[in-house]
Amino acid sequence: MSRREGSLEDPQADSSISPLPHLEAKIRQTHSLARLLTKYAEQLLQEYVQHQGDPFGLPGFSPPRLPVAGLSAPAPGHAGLPAPERLRLDAAALSALQPLLDVVRRHQAELNPRAPRLLRRLEDAARQARALGAAVEAVLAALGAETRGPPAEPAAAAAAAAVAAATAATDAGVFPAKVLGLRVCGLYREWVSRTEGDLGQLVPGGPA
């Protein structure tokens, strides 16, 4: 599919796609959700670094950006992909983020038990990641594109493996666990922001 096929105004769009107003509304709604969650993700990141102590909140702090199992940051070429492919990657990333955010919340519950706002934000972020991922998949379905992801069982196994790996990281020490949490919160912000951008290109009247 070409880039133009991602636009709602494409006259060559498949006639089997859901009625246009409904799709348009769905895209707008999901885009609004992504925009809101981008703001929340930024707040989560700020709250997170505050509770880990310096140097986490200091400008210039840059621990190694090590890959997290099953999830990486949006690739540099992401923006050049067709819209359905971008949305598929967004949905897959959001789905992978939910269990990782759960792991971070569990560990922070031990490290910062008197930080209820941080713990609540982490819990909310896990739910919101799942909700936004589901909403993006609904948009993909409405676009007539396959929500091509791995079959259910391998996906569940991949999620479990990611959680196990993240848990192993926390077993390696508190500092690595703090770094992992920072990485996960950072990835959450990046992917939610990326999703907002990808949906924004589909909103009629939005940037091409």
Q: Between 141 and 161, whose beta carbon lies closer to other proteins?
A: 161
Chain residues 139-178 in contact with other proteins, contact rule CB under 8 A: 161-162, 164-166, 168-169, 171-176, 178
Binding mask 103-142 for other proteins (x = CB under 8 A): --------xxxx----------------------------
Judged by CB under 8 A, does residue 19 bind other proteins?
no
Whole-number Cα distances in Å, 66 to 73, 95, 105, 106, 162: 10, 20, 20, 21, 14
Q: Give the tokens for residue 73.
A: 């940051």
In b/e form, how buried is each residue of 16-39, taking b as 16+ CB within 10 angstroms?
eeeeeeebbebbeebbebbbebbe
Chain residues 43-102 in contact with other proteins, contact rule CB under 8 A: 51-56, 58, 61-64, 66-70
Binding site for other proteins (CB under 8 A): 51-56, 58, 61-64, 66-70, 111-114, 161-162, 164-166, 168-169, 171-176, 178-180
